[in-house]
């Protein structure tokens, strides 16, 4: 959230936690304040969404930085958002890396470890959201952080449990019924059907939906309604 789409108020009634852009790939002080206010109004957990400093590509292009620089940029973004949260009388609940930083951390142990270390050094009580089954979760646990294994409502999976790259045509789920089918399989069976047709075991603690998706609000409503009914 806070990425310039402007649909946060519509999404808030249907979500439990929000990942807020900290200004490096999108957002600014005003958007952070607005979204934090909405989170507090709707009792939604407030999370930081640190990314590479890459507004031009929305943080979705990999950058080759030193581990020291990765630690620094994550810490800076947590500090930026936390100042807003404290000003508004709230408390940060969790951290989830964004975009290319997330994807690299899901596969590269050194990056996963340094991000987890940055989160721990900032506030060891924070929860860490990471790709289910990836080294992100492993490294966060190694650092003693509480973790939430994240699954995706609007993204497809590869046979190894990774997300299909956005560069591929079948990366996104845009059909509501297919999306709901995937969510319910993830939540009820801890598994998903990969693009290859294989069934993949995936632990589901938290379900992500991208706020900038074309059908974000409709999907969020559908997921909320379906899970509440079940």
d(CA 48, CA 25): 12
pLDDT of 230 over the 70 cut = no
Q: Supply the pLDDT for residue 76.
A: 98
Q: In 159-169, which positions are buried (b, 16+ CB within 10 angstroms) versus exposed (e)?
A: eebbbbeeeee
Kindly report, residue by residue over 156-202, the tens digit of the pLDDT: 999 999 999 999 989 999 999 999 999 999 999 999 999 999 999 99
List alpha helices for 158-215, DSSP H. 176-189
Question: Between 176-189 and 216-229, two packed helices, what is the crossing angle to 10 degrees?
Answer: 40
State percent of the chain over pLDDT 70: 100
Considering the entire predicted model, what is its pTM? 0.95
d(CA 72, CA 78): 10
Q: Residue 199: which H helix or E strand, with range?
A: strand 199-201
For the chain, domain boundaries: 8-229
β pairing state of 146-152 and 191-193: unpaired
Q: Please name the fold of domain 8-229.
A: TIM Barrel (3.20.20)
d(CA 112, CA 108): 6
In a 3-state reduction of DSSP, which class is residue 80?
helix
């Amino acid at each position: 959230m806070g990425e310039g789409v402007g649909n946060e108020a519509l999404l808030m009634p249907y979500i439990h936690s929000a990942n807020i852009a900290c200004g490096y790939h999108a957002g600014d002080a005003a958007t952070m304040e607005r979204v934090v206010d909405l989170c507090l109004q709707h009792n939604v957990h407030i999370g930081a969404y640190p990314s590479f400093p890459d507004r031009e590509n929305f943080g979705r292009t990999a950058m080759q930085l030193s581990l020291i620089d990765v630690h620094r940029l994550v810490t800076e973004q947590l500090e930026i958002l936390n100042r807003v949260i404290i000003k508004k009388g709230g408390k940060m609940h969790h951290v989830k890396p964004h975009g290319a930083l997330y994807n690299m951390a899901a596969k590269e142990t050194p990056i996963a470890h340094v991000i987890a270390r940055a989160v721990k050094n900032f506030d060891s009580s924070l929860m860490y959201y990471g790709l289910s089954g990836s080294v992100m979760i492993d490294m966060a646990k190694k650092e003693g952080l509480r973790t939430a294994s994240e699954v995706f409502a609007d993204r497809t999976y590869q046979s190894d449990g990774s997300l299909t790259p956005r560069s591929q045509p079948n990366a996104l789920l845009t059909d509501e019924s297919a999306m709901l089918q995937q969510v319910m399989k993830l939540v009820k069976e801890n598994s998903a059907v990969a693009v290859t047709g294989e069934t993949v075991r995936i632990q589901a603690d938290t379900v992500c939906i991208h706020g900038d998706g074309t059908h974000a609000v409709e999907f969020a409503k559908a997921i909320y309604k379906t899970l509440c009914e079940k």
